[in-house]
Amino acid sequence: MDPERPRAAVPRVLREHWLVLVLALALLASWLDLRREIRALRDEVRRRGVPAAAPGATSTDAGVVAPVPTGPGAPVSGPGGGSHASGSDAGATGWRCSGSLPTDAATRAVGTYGRAVFTCYGTFQRSHPGARGTVRVDILVGSDGSPREVNVGGSPADPMLRECIGNAALTWRFARPTGGDCAVVSAPFRLEPPTPH
């Protein structure tokens, strides 16, 4: 090869920084693989859903679903207790709404989506065996039927458990409130470890 002749085939930046470029491409490939895995996990969660919890007192992997009174008004049996939809404020939340939801529609929605509460509890219970209590999920339902705000109270008072339940409740969908622009749905869930057989 003639020493006077320049190397035209390989640009200078590639000759001098090839290792940095190889590492950058490897990092990009790893990042894309991670995104692909996350997407696959999300799809699997959507496909499989959350564990079923039948209305009334039944046993699930996460705990026992048992009716819990909801306070004044006629409670409706649902998963983990009753659900109550009204045009008044929900306990300590201070939310005021003039609308209401039919109790059967609120019960159906809590029965469908409320299973996620027990999924959160099952995850929580792995690091806190024997933890038990009753959580109350108060949901401010907007005019389109989607939650505007969620408040999770009761026990266990673990912030990560409450955050998991609150994030799940923000994805629930209800019927559109009638008689006003919002309604409050309150649903208690009794969380108990499964009994050994």
Residue 112, in any domain of the structure: yes
CA distance 155 to 23: 49
- Same domain for 26 and 62? no
pLDDT of residue 172: 95
Residue 111: other Cβ atoms inside 10 A: 19
pLDDT of residue 20: 77
CA distance 27 to 173: 40
Task: Kindly write down the DSSP assignment for every residue of 76-105, as one continuous string.
Answer: EEETTEEEEEESS--GGG----S-B--HHH
SS3 for 121? Answer: helix
pLDDT of residue 24: 77
pLDDT of residue 197: 64
- Same domain for 16 and 104? no
- Same domain for 82 and 170? yes
pLDDT of residue 67: 29
* Domain span holding position 16: 12-48
Per-residue confidence of the chain (197 residues) as pLDDT tens digits?
A: 555 655 556 677 667 777 777 777 877 776 676 667 667 656 655 665 433 333 333 333 333 333 232 332 323 333 333 444 544 444 557 888 889 999 888 999 999 998 899 999 999 999 998 899 999 999 999 999 999 999 999 998 899 999 999 999 999 999 999 999 999 999 999 999 877 76
pLDDT of residue 4: 61
- Same domain for 95 and 184? yes
- Same domain for 184 and 110? yes
CA distance 99 to 182: 5
Residue 144, in any domain of the structure: yes
- Same domain for 106 and 136? yes
- Same domain for 41 and 64? no
pLDDT of residue 43: 63
